[in-house]
A and B are shown apart, each in its own frame.
Chain A
């Protein structure tokens, strides 16, 4: 089981993000500034990769952090902050990227939600600091065959579906489905082994 590699709950410590989020709930501007300093770079890097335009990317990052400030009371401080920020930022950026479509409208509906992300993840985040985890993710995905890596990037950064990726890469639909699932499972196993 994926989470079996994590330390038991009894050993949990309060993460700096959780402390800052508790201060943010009390409308502490200093805590907001600290959270922005800690995480704006990765959020901006992700959004810029999706949109490829600096000014638009900054607007999206502004929206994401203002949502964090304005809706912090809806956030569960026991859950990891960074994955939530990245999920929200990706949804917002893809909304900008795509034309109005059924897929986009669904994403817009989800954008205002606070997606439920595994509460055990902070344990993992302690096991590997952000820099080392980033290096590990890049190495694991970089070790995949080029076409498989491309399929995962098209799904994550372009928001394409299995059939859209299959058409774009001229590969059978079943192959694309296996590539994406197996690639993510390999990432999971690789990160688990590093913890």
Chain B
């Protein structure tokens, strides 16, 4: 197989975007060299990949979205150009000229009025857009505050059970978790080293039942200072059925099963 065939075999993966960086760089260089065969194959592969959208469950956007879009588009659309009259001057009686003049005046007034209204509408839409952005910001702040309050309740409620998660590596800090039977699980840590590119931490439930697999929970990552806090509102299993909590490092997006040994483990007494 020559090198061209090797590139051709990767066109579908390039179109879907799944090639890893080195392979992607090689095929981009090959396409940049002007290979018409591969360029054509890529166009076809892009069309094919786009068809995967039909795997998505059917859903309809809200009517509000259409309304917002049409308001924006109408405000940006040019005014409809006026048409010239096909009637020749020589055949036009005076009263028709008067009518045309009146119509012209009315058109000028309408255009001016329309421009004025369009400007007013644009101003109102700008105001509405600003208010929408502010409301969205407030809603986000409200959600964040609710989550923070929920988390604070888990940490302070006497029904919560505290679970310490010592690190397997003695140089790493210990994590702590709190499990409330109704409100969920919180986990937090400080001075946790920065993770590699495209890596996250993931929390797991280790069931008591022999032979059961770890259950994947939330993924998270420390900030620049090494601090993080994460919460699971609805754990998939009860505290009484759980032997321990564990934390592993996983690829971004998390994993269905741990890909490495746990870095932190805390047993439930």
Contact = CB atoms under 8 A, between A and B. Distances in A.
Interface of A: 2-3, 27, 29, 32-33, 36, 40-42, 44-46, 48-49, 54, 57-58, 61-62, 65-66, 69-70, 80, 82-84, 86-87, 89-90, 94, 98-99, 101-103, 107, 115-121, 124, 133-134, 137-138, 141, 152-153, 155-165, 167-170, 177, 180-181, 184-185, 187-188, 191
A58 B52 contact: no
Contact of A86 (B40, B53, B69, B257): B53
B103 interface: no
B98 interface: no
Contacts of A90: 50, 53
B68 A62 contact: yes
B236 interface: no
Given A42-B53, A83-B46, A116-B43, A180 B257 contact: no
Chain B contact residues: helix, strand, loop or mixed: helix
Contact of B69 (A48, A54, A62): A62
Nearest to B72: A66
Interface in B22-65: 23, 39-40, 42-62, 65
Given A41-B60, A42-B54, A168 B256 contact: yes
Given A86-B50, A167-B255, A141 B78 contact: no
12 contacts: A33-B70, A41-B58, A66-B72, A66-B73, A69-B76, A90-B53, A98-B252, A103-B21, A121-B47, A160-B18, A181-B12, A184-B16
Most A-side CB within 10 Å, residue of B39, B42, B252:
B252
A36 B253 CA distance: 32
A150 to B, nearest CB: 9
Contacts of B251: 160, 164, 167-168
Contacts of A40: 60-61, 65-66
A162 B18 contact: yes
Contacts of A119: 43
Nearest to B58: A45
Most A-side CB within 10 Å, residue of B59, B66, B250:
B59
B197 interface: yes
A33 B65 CA distance: 12
A14 B241 CA distance: 64
Given A117-B43, A191-B51, 9 more contacts: A2-B44, A40-B61, A46-B53, A57-B61, A156-B49, A161-B19, A161-B20, A162-B23, A168-B259
Given A45-B53, A137-B55, A168-B251, A188 B69 contact: no
Interface residues of B, number: 55
Nearest to B78: A27
Interface in B62-120: 62, 65-66, 68-70, 72-74, 76-78
Contacts of A42: 53-54, 56
A105 to B, nearest CB: 12
A180 B12 contact: yes
Given A58-B65, A133-B51, A184 B46 contact: no
Interface string B1-20: 00000000110110011111
A45 B56 contact: yes
B60 A117 contact: no
